[in-house]
Amino acid sequence: MQLLKNILRPSRAKSMGNLYLIPTLISDVNPLEVIPLGTKKVLEETRIYLAENAKSARAFLKKAIPYVQQSSLEVIQIDKHSSESEYYKYLHQCKSGKHIGLMSESGCPAVADPGSQIVLEAHRQGIPVIPLVGPSSILLSLMASGLNGQNYSFIGYLPIDKHDRRRKLKELEAKSLKDKTTFIFIETPYRNLQLVEDIKLTLRPDTLLCIASDITGINQFIKTKKLSEWKTEDFQHIDKQPTIFLIGIS
Amino acid sequence: MQLLKNILRPSRAKSMGNLYLIPTLISDVNPLEVIPLGTKKVLEETRIYLAENAKSARAFLKKAIPYVQQSSLEVIQIDKHSSESEYYKYLHQCKSGKHIGLMSESGCPAVADPGSQIVLEAHRQGIPVIPLVGPSSILLSLMASGLNGQNYSFIGYLPIDKHDRRRKLKELEAKSLKDKTTFIFIETPYRNLQLVEDIKLTLRPDTLLCIASDITGINQFIKTKKLSEWKTEDFQHIDKQPTIFLIGIS
């Protein structure tokens, strides 16, 4: 492991700990399939974690570093109700040389989750922020979509109201055509089928839609087709599965 | 390695090869720091590669799988002049059960490079597209920026002309404020200092700018500050270094 020295490089201020941004699994696989040894090495050196969900963070740590005693790990759950002064307090521990790991419930922290406020607080305090490599369903779906990866936008969730949602879809389609932009969005898994229905009813036959479901998992499904070609597809297999939707042009 | 079975799962049509999307290094590190064993395992099983740059692809393969004879690997350089019929021909080999790997010159294929046309052709031919995990400077910089990761746009390069570029920067700043969007852009490394100068002259003092340079490398530099706080910084260390720029609000 001597060559794994870059990831753990000491910060310039030798006594300062780092804020490590630690990706977690996005499907039920062996961590070594999707987490590099460099990221694993950091887990072995870190004892304090800030997590979107403490339970899933502990389950991931148990799977990734089973030989490290869970009782030696401090996992603090942070959520949208946490205040700036709490972030300040947690991160202040880095000043005494302790490393802190930030973990999302799934995938990469501070992307499609509220973790960025903590990262910004680390910058304010002058704490080195070290992002680590791991799976991101948004990035993997973009790579695999075949849609334009030189100009793209992630926009989170569409409106829930049917009319607002269809209007939004039309608006995205028009922008996508005009600026050759790929739009990436997500939905609560149990609403996937409803979203697909709205997409089918709203978008033009020649618009490209990529559906990317259970990415890196055993039921991985990633396909891009024109809307007209999707019409006959049965979508039951994406029902309640974590899924990313992308629309664009070729 | 028995557990690394998901990544190499056979396609549904048993005789069909996969198109693997293979991330490469974005800095001079040991591949194991940033490339998971699952991705490495695919490299061991793949003999045909389509690459943005054949020379750098071979250098990466030599570093990642040194025990595989280079003469047994076919590396085909594809570029923006390659035609759809060429893509068709290359990918058609998957029909006889051969796997093909697609590689960018740096980072993740089909993101911020022209590779997406090949991926789309694979979808057209019904070839399974399997994205693999590895480093992406765009994703890592977004994670580490502390800027909004729930709504963001990658826009590639800004205009080269000074006036157009400053107008574009003002436009992005206004959109960023209005929609709470993070904008991510890049520049040819030797123009980094000029871009920083334009940013300093154009954006508001309270706009947040993240500069992320040599990500995962030994000279990694990632910092987010308000424009007013950047004023006194010396930027020589990002001169000619691959760098990502992000602007947004907290």
Q: Do A152 and B154 touch (CB under 8 A)?
A: yes
Q: Do B151 and A150 touch (CB under 8 A)?
A: no
pLDDT of residue A2: 41
pLDDT of residue B157: 96
Q: What is the pLDDT of residues A153-178, one digit of tens each?
A: 999 999 999 999 999 999 999 999 99
Instruction: Collect all residues with Cβ–Cβ distance below 8 Å to B111 and sequence separation of at least 6.
Output: A139, A142, A143, A149, B104, B136, B138, B154
- The shortest C-alpha distance from B119 to chain A (Å) reads 5
Nearest to B143 among A35, A109, A154 (CB): A109
Please indicate, yes or no, whether residues B144 and B203 belong to a single structural domain of this protein: yes
- pLDDT category of residue A216 using cuts at 50, 70 and 90: very high
Q: Pairing state of beta strands B243-248 and B182-186? A: antiparallel
Nearest to A129 among B117, B118, B144 (CB): B144
- The shortest C-alpha distance from B201 to chain A (Å) reads 23
- The shortest C-alpha distance from B64 to chain A (Å) reads 13
Last residue of a domain, one of B131, B163, B197: B131
Residue B214 scores a pLDDT above 90: yes
pLDDT of residue A242: 94
Please indicate, yes or no, whether residues B242 and B144 belong to a single structural domain of this protein: yes
- Nearest-10 crossing angle of helices A37-45, A54-64: 110
Domain contains A26: yes
pLDDT of residue B74: 97
Please indicate, yes or no, whether residues A121 and A204 belong to a single structural domain of this protein: no
Q: Do B149 and A3 touch (CB under 8 A)?
A: no
Q: Which two tokens stand for residue B137?
A: 């400077």
Domain contains B141: yes
* Burial class of residue B51, CB neighbours in 10 A (0-12, 13-18, 19+): buried
Q: Which residues of B touch A217 (CB under 8 A)?
A: 6
Please indicate, yes or no, whether residues A95 and A186 belong to a single structural domain of this protein: no
Last residue of a domain, one of A84, A107, A131: A131
Q: Which residues of A touch B32 (CB under 8 A)?
A: 3-4, 36-38
Nearest to B150 among A35, A112, A150 (CB): A112
CATH number of the domain enclosing A23: 3.40.1010.10
- The shortest C-alpha distance from B59 to chain A (Å) reads 18
Residue A90 scores a pLDDT above 60: yes
Q: Do B146 and A112 touch (CB under 8 A)?
A: no
Residue A47 scores a pLDDT above 70: yes
Please indicate, yes or no, whether residues B125 and B161 belong to a single structural domain of this protein: no
Residue B177 scores a pLDDT above 80: yes
Choose the mutation target among A39, A40, A105, A116 for the interface with B, i.e. most B CBs under 10 Å: A116
- The shortest C-alpha distance from A129 to chain B (Å) reads 6
Q: Which letter, b or e, does each residue of B22-41 get, where b requires 16 or more Cβ atoms within 10 Å of its Cβ?
A: bbbbbbebbbbbbbbbbbbb
Nearest to B139 among A136, A220, A222 (CB): A136
Residues B79, B50: Cα–Cα separation, whole Å: 10
Q: What average pLDDT does range A199-215 have in this prediction?
A: 97
Q: Do A150 and B217 touch (CB under 8 A)?
A: no
Please indicate, yes or no, whether residues A25 and A123 belong to a single structural domain of this protein: yes
Nearest to A21 among B3, B117, B143 (CB): B143
How many other C-beta atoms lie within 10 A of the C-beta of residue A45?
12
Most confident of A84-98, A203-217, B71-85, B110-124: A203-217
The letter for the amino acid at B137 is S
Last residue of a domain, one of B109, B131, B153: B131
Mean pLDDT of chain B, nearest integer? 92
Give start and end residues of each alpha helix (H) in A35-150: 37-45, 54-64, 84-92, 116-124, 137-145
Provide φ and ψ at A196, rounded to 5°: -60, -40
How are the residues of chain B apportioned to helix, strand and coil, as percentages rounded to the nearest 5? 40, 20, 40
Residue B114 scores a pLDDT above 90: no
Positive or negative, the Cα torsion across B63, B64, B66, B71? negative
Domain of A69 in residue numbering reads as 19-131
Choose the mutation target among B104, B123, B143 for the interface with A, i.e. most A CBs under 10 Å: B143
Domain contains B225: yes
- Please give the angle made by the CA atoms of A54, A58 and A61, to the nearest 5 degrees: 140
* Burial class of residue B169, CB neighbours in 10 A (0-12, 13-18, 19+): buried
Domain count of chain A? 2
Mean pLDDT of chain A, nearest integer? 92
The letter for the amino acid at A174 is A
pLDDT of residue A203: 96
Please indicate, yes or no, whether residues A120 and A148 belong to a single structural domain of this protein: no
Please indicate, yes or no, whether residues B126 and B142 belong to a single structural domain of this protein: no
- pLDDT category of residue B210 using cuts at 50, 70 and 90: very high
Please indicate, yes or no, whether residues A186 and A239 belong to a single structural domain of this protein: yes
Q: Do B149 and A116 touch (CB under 8 A)?
A: yes
Residue A34 scores a pLDDT above 60: yes
CA end-to-end distance (rounded Å), chain B: 43
- The shortest C-alpha distance from B225 to chain A (Å) reads 7
Look up tokens 């603090």; give the residue: A76
Q: What average pLDDT does range B203-214 have in this prediction?
A: 97
Please indicate, yes or no, whether residues B94 and B189 belong to a single structural domain of this protein: no
CA closest to B226 among chain A residues? A124
pLDDT of residue A6: 52
CA-wise closest residue to A82 among A51, A108, A125, A103: A51
Give start and end residues of each alpha helix (H) in B67-216: 84-92, 116-124, 137-145, 162-179, 192-202
**A44 in Cβ contact with A65 (< 8 Å):** yes
- The shortest C-alpha distance from A219 to chain B (Å) reads 9
Q: What average pLDDT does range B54-66 have in this prediction?
A: 97
- pLDDT category of residue A66 using cuts at 50, 70 and 90: very high
- Nearest-10 crossing angle of helices B37-45, B54-64: 110
Q: Do A218 and B29 touch (CB under 8 A)?
A: no
Nearest to A143 among B34, B111, B216 (CB): B111
CA closest to B28 among chain A residues? A6
Please indicate, yes or no, whether residues B90 and B158 belong to a single structural domain of this protein: no
pLDDT of residue B7: 54
Choose the mutation target among A2, A33, A171, A216 for the interface with B, i.e. most B CBs under 10 Å: A33
Q: Do B144 and A119 touch (CB under 8 A)?
A: yes
Q: Do B32 and A36 touch (CB under 8 A)?
A: yes
Q: Which two tokens stand for residue A43?
A: 């887990």
Q: Do B21 and A144 touch (CB under 8 A)?
A: yes
Please indicate, yes or no, whether residues A48 and A114 belong to a single structural domain of this protein: yes
Which DSSP string corresponds to B53-85? SHHHHHHHHHHH-TTS-GGG-EEEE--TT--HH
Q: Do B216 and A149 touch (CB under 8 A)?
A: no
